[in-house]
Structures are given as C-alpha cells and as structure tokens.
Amino acid sequence: MKLIISNHKMNFTLEEIKIYVEQLETVQSKNNLLVFCPSFLYLPYFKGKNYSLGSQNVASQKMGALTGEVSVEQLKSSGVSYVIIGHSERRNLLKEDKDSIQKKISLCLENEITPILCIGEQLEEKNQKEKVLQEEIDSAFQEGQALDEIIIAYEPIWSIGTGIIPSKEDITSTFEWIKSYVKETYHANCKVIYGGSVNEENIRLLNQIQIIDGYLLGGASLEIEKLREIIKVVEG
C-alpha cells in the first residue's frame, strides 16, 4: 500500500471545490491510501468519504489568542488525521522556523495525528544535500516521541512546480540515506514519500522505485483526470 497525498495549496473557489469533490466520487483506489489536504475552509466537504483528510498546516500553540490560526484540536474534531508540516513554501515564503516546526510535530503526535514532515534541498544546496536533510530532520525530531509515526516527504525544492525530477538513482540513494539516518540516529522506521512535480507521465518511472512509500502531489492533484491516472499507475 502506498500513500498518495494531495496538497491543494491555496487553490479552488467554493464552487470549484464542490465540483472537485463530486468528481472524486468516481475515483477509486483499491490498494492505496488517499489523503486530501484542501484549504481549511473546505475540510467539511471532504469528510466522511472513502479517503483520509489532511491539513496543510497547524498552529504551533495548543489554543488561545492566535488570530488566523487553526489548532490541532480543531483539526482533529474536523476529521483530520494528517498534517503537512514544514513545507518549503511555508519555510521560505512564510518564514516558518525550526522551533515552530518542532512544536507542530509534538502537538500532532500528542493528538495522534500523523505529521508529514517536508524536507528538501535548494538547487544551490545540491552538493550538500545530506547536510541539509540531516539538519531538517534533527531540528524536527525529538527523542522520546513516537517518531515512527512521522512521515517524511522528501521534496527537492528545485523540483517543486518545475516539471523536473531527480534521476531514479538519485532518488534511490537519497531515500536509502534518509531511512538509514533515521534508523541509526533515532531508531525509527519512518515512511518516506516523494514530492516534486509528480505527474501522470513521470509516475511510471517513479513507481519503479521500490523504496518510495508514496507521493505528495501538488499541481497534479488539482486535476481529477491526472490524479486518476496517477492512482491507476501506482495501483499496478
């Protein structure tokens, strides 16, 4: 079973999301776990269906006076079971720092919500990729937590939205490195998924890489036909 996680980012109007959810009724998956992360506003439209619900962010505090934020308890009571944390857009454009990423992960784990920790290197960091990934893992993981529950999304930042993906060999060696680093350092067996320009064409190549536990989709998840094709290929 592979995870196929759709991150809608800040897309769709209310009318568009209603149509999307309706079309989703025709999308089936036998062996995979589908997770949808729409805008907070649209979470209720995705509830009670044959897939799981995720959120694109969570507040770094439990509750209280934090205008515009959404708490882990609010998410949980809305049926959310996955939260994307530390997406590169939030790290780079919205200045999300390591401290708040760590707090968000703790809050999710305490509330039995699965954190999806995004890590990845910039184009100019390609030759020090392992150092970047190690820092992102170390600043998010804390000993004594249920670290096996964390899903790591490896997303090379230069691949997001560009149509360019790393080679099969590159992905394989990066995944091997992440899995063994997490195992040796934290004694954790985390699922590792790939994100960055996954589409209905390159999914054939990506799906040959056994070590990938699933995919985080951005652009391709916005179009039902592309999503359907991706699920079909992953289904085998």
* Alpha carbon 15 to its chain's center: 25
Q: Which stretch binds ligand PEP (CB under 6 A): 67-75, 109-117, 185-193, 214-222?
A: 214-222
Contact residue for ligand PEP among 105, 150, 160, 171 (CB under 6 A)? 160
219 binds ligand PEP (CB under 6 A): yes
Beta strand ranges found along the chain (DSSP E)? 3-7, 33-37, 52-55, 80-85, 114-119, 151-154, 191-195, 214-217
Neighbours of 135 (CB within 10 A): 13
Residue 196 interacts with ligand PEP (CB under 6 A): yes or no: yes
Which one of 87, 96, 121, 136 is the catalytic residue?
A: 87
Active site annotation includes 15? no
Helices (H), 48-97: 72-77, 88-92
Among 182, 217, 227, 231, binds ligand PEP (CB under 6 A): 217
Q: What values do phi and psi take at 125, rounded to 5? A: -105, 5
CB of 217 to ligand PEP, least distance (A): 5
Q: Please tell me the distance from the alpha carbon of residue 146 to that of residue 80, in angstroms, as a whole number.
A: 19
Is 195 one of the binding residues for ligand PEP (CB under 6 A)? yes
Q: Contact residues for ligand PEP (CB under 6 A)?
A: 7, 155, 160-161, 195-198, 216-220
Query: Which residues belong to the active site?
Result: 87, 155
